[in-house]
Chains A and B, each alone.
Chain A
């Protein structure tokens, strides 16, 4: 891997979380865990209310990478490693900041590091994404 042009910043993306979005995601995914859709259950679990499905605050990472690649789907073989650092709640605005931190000399492989933070600057998710794509862009 070469590092002389790195890091390459990717377009930032955001998602605004609302209870309506969480409820709609529950219907799409079939995941009606009460901590997501029942405020009393969320309070009983110690969250102070409902929390978003983990897949919702990670969506800006997909949007950011796909915007960089100019595609609507990630290349086959893409690997994503992430850690949940804090829950996301209705009212939160989650922003993904991502950049290419490693890249093969032939441009076939790229590793993107990302951090998703809420409007208070708290990291809610971070991780890395390995992309296998011929001709990944040189710039963000």
Chain B
């Protein structure tokens, strides 16, 4: 059952609809680095997450399960990257619906997921539009 706040007809715009806080662990960074072909972090250095790992923090909200009605088609992303995440950081990701529009007979919602670290610095921002059923 999809929450009405996430449907095109009654979408709630510009309010935080999902939020998650995580602590970045070195072993998670190393797992991602190995998975995507990056060399391990130097043993004496604080592990730094590759830029593309920033995209996983929004996925971790679980938005695909809880807010997307069946039949939604994601069209593409506009991503902006800030400072890299590092082991020990506490990251907060928030999701909002920022726009609702119609084009060529199709209905779209535009979403924004912003991840910031404990200092308030932007780590990653993902904006994407999807065609709603």
Contacts and interface: CB of A to CB of B under 8 A. Distances in A.
Interface of A: 15, 21, 24-25, 28-33, 53-55, 58-59, 62-63, 66, 72-74, 76-84, 127
Given A28-B56, A33-B64, A63-B37, A79 B80 contact: yes
B48 interface: yes
A62 B82 CA distance: 14
Contacts of A24: 31, 35
Contacts of A127: 76
Nearest to B31: A28
B88 interface: no
Contact of B75 (A55, A76, A80, A84): A84
Contacts of B55: 29, 55, 58
Interface string B69-97: 00000111111111110000000000000
Please classify the interface of chain A as helix (H, G, I), strand (E, B), loop, or mixed, using the class held by over half of its residues: mixed
Please classify the interface of chain B as helix (H, G, I), strand (E, B), loop, or mixed, using the class held by over half of its residues: mixed
Contacts of A63: 36-37
A30 B62 contact: yes
A72 B38 CA distance: 8
A15 B37 CA distance: 9
Contacts of B75: 83-84
Nearest to A34: B65
B75 to A, nearest CB: 7
B38 A55 contact: no
B51 interface: yes
Nearest to A58: B52
B59 interface: yes
15 contacts: A28-B28, A29-B59, A29-B60, A30-B56, A30-B62, A33-B64, A54-B77, A72-B48, A74-B51, A74-B81, A79-B80, A80-B77, A81-B76, A81-B77, A82-B76
